[in-house]
Amino acid sequence: MIVKKISLVVTALFSMSMFAQESAEFSREIKQDIKLSYLDSIKSTFKRDHLASKVDSLWMNELVSLDIYDDLTKDIQTINKDVTVDEELPTELLKERLALMNQKSPFEIEYNQGLENVIKSFLKNRKKSFSRLMSLSEYYFPIFEDAFAKQNVPLEIKYLAVVESALNPKAVSRMGATGLWQFMYGTGKQYALKIDSYIDERSDPLKATAAASEYMSKMFNIFGDWELVLASYNSGPGNVTKAIRRSGGKTKYWDIRNYLPKETQGYVPAFLATMYLFEYHKEHGINPERAVVKNFETDTVCVKNQMSFKQIADLLDMPQSQIKLLNPSYKMEVVPFYQGEQHFIRLPKDKVATFVSNEEQIYAYVKHDTEFRSTSSRLAVKYAPKARVTKPAVAKPAAVDNGDFEFYKVRKGDNLGAIAAKYDVSISELKKWNNLKTNAVVIGRSLKIKSDEPSSIKANAAIDKKEEAIASADDKDKPTAVDIDYVVVAGDNLGSIAKKFGTTIAELKELNNLTSNNIGLGKTLIISKAAIVIEEPTSTAIASNSVDTFKKKATSKSVSEDYYVKKGDSLYSISKKYPGVTISDIKKWNGIKDEDIKPGMKLKING
Give residues with Cβ within 8 angstroms of 173, minimum separation 6.
73, 182
Q: How does pLDDT run across 377-411, given as a tens digit for each residue?
A: 555 555 555 444 444 433 333 333 434 577 788 88
Q: How does pLDDT run across 455-501, given as a tens digit for each residue?
A: 333 333 333 333 343 334 444 343 333 456 777 777 778 878 877 77
Domain 67-284 has CATH 3.40.50.2300: no
- Alpha helix (H) residue ranges in 177-308: 185-190, 205-223, 226-235, 237-246, 253-256, 262-279
Q: What is the pTM of this model?
A: 0.54
Task: Share the mean pLDDT of the chain.
Answer: 74
Of the ranges 12-21, 243-252, 469-478, 519-528, which is most confident? Answer: 243-252
Angstrom distance (rounded) from CA 142 to CA 161: 13
Q: Is the pLDDT of residue 556 over 60?
A: no
Angstrom distance (rounded) from CA 201 to CA 207: 7
Question: Quick one: pLDDT at residue 542?
Answer: 31
Mean pLDDT computed over 107-127: 88
Q: Is the pLDDT of residue 347 over 80?
A: yes
User: Distance of CA 216 to CAs 219, 228, 230, 407, Å?
Assistant: 5, 10, 8, 49
Residue-wise DSSP of 136-155 = HHHHHHHHHHHHHHHHT--G
C-alpha gyration radius of the chain: 30
Give the three-state DSSP class for 190: helix
Q: Which strand (E) or helix (H) includes residue 584?
A: helix 583-590
Q: How does pLDDT run across 236-274, given as a tens digit for each residue?
A: 899 999 999 999 999 889 899 899 988 888 889 999 999
Angstrom distance (rounded) from CA 161 to CA 167: 6
Of the candidate ranges 13-22, 100-109, 171-180, 575-584, the one whose mean pLDDT is the lowest: 13-22
Q: How does pLDDT run across 298-310, given as a tens digit for each residue?
A: 889 999 999 999 9
Q: Which of 117, 113, 125 is nearest to 80 (CA)?
A: 117
178 — pLDDT class (breaks 50, 70, 90):
very high
Of the candidate ranges 62-66, 173-177, 251-255, 435-439, the one whose mean pLDDT is the lowest: 62-66
Question: Quick one: pLDDT at residue 426?
Answer: 78
